[in-house]
A = this chain, B = another copy of it.
């Protein structure tokens, strides 16, 4: 059933029916009711393509996530992010279209996305420090919001980000105040902006506490369980091992914990761990009391906020670049404690090898 048929059935013009259904004022109350009833009865749903063509808007948002040959994993955070974003889209009647783009021919691809015209705006995922997409998008004039920021970009664009630097500065400071002087960082890939900022915060805190940086305690990679495990295993075998770890993801923290246990140490007593916790639905940090002390910030909330922001930008393009910085909470779990006074037993052995 399309508009024409519906109109004929009602003995009305398409115009009137269309107006009635779209809430325009110039239609008689009784008529509107009649139309609405009939529409429901016949399960009338306007054709989105035709509507889009007529209005010039597609009522959908593009989520563009980069995939590269070297890092072809879809960020596990993505599922939760879109769950949040979807809430906003559903309410506003928008659809979500997903585009995975190989990096390389961004120029052409993003231009195509705009010219194809099946999205009214896009959300940019996983920005790198110097992300060429931002200048490109500003140039294209397509409304967009970045999830994260690009440190090297000075242009003014809309973003939703977590305070990565602040969170890791605070977490590192917290460890330092517990007396830890050998604090390791197991980070995500540091050309990703969030990882860069986290390291920056970590370094700032070390400096503020008069601790010096030991490259042996810095690691970066895809944030897998194995990265955590391998990093901790190696670092704990150092002559002067770390007494605390900072981790960029729950997944990695789980790996850290395994290596710590395997070394015969107890997490929270012999070795402290703070991880960032994105509050992913499938990766909860404990049920009631958190297992890990963590900097916590909901990716889902970020998704919701980014979507809201983009919808606002679309509705009123003049409302200028918007920014939203989410603060992470530092929540106390059982994985941190004061630096042990005596070296834990296991360490002696290792120290003397």
- What is the CB-to-nearest-CB distance from A201 to chain B, in angstroms, rounded to a whole number? 23
Interface centre among A48, A63, A258 (most CB of B within 10 A): A48
Q: Mark A88-132, 1 if CB is under 8 A from B, else 0.
A: 001000011111100000000001100111100000000000000
B281 with A118: CB separation less than 8 A:
no
**Contacts A95-B118, A98-B82 hold; do A76 and B74 have CB atoms under 8 A apart?**
no
Besides A49-B52, A251-B283, 5 more A-B contacts (Cβ < 8 Å) are: A44-B115, A73-B281, A79-B79, A95-B118, A254-B254
A47 with B90: CB separation less than 8 A:
no
Please, how many residues of chain A have a CB less than 8 angstroms from a CB on the other chain? 56
B98 with A284: CB separation less than 8 A:
no
A83 with B100: CB separation less than 8 A:
yes
A283 to B225, CA, bound (A): 7
| Interface flag for A75 (CB, 8 Å) | yes
Q: For residue A60, which residues in chain B have a CB less than 8 angstroms away from its CB?
A: 97, 118
Interface residues of A, Cβ cutoff 8 Å to B: 43-50, 52-53, 58, 60, 63, 67, 72-76, 78-80, 82-83, 86, 90, 95-100, 111-112, 115-118, 222-226, 251, 254, 257-258, 261-262, 280-284, 286-287
Q: Select from chain B the residue with minimum beta-carbon distance to A281.
A: B73
- What is the CB-to-nearest-CB distance from A320 to chain B, in angstroms, rounded to a whole number? 28
Pick from B97, B112, B224, B254: contact of A96, CB below 8 A.
Answer: B97
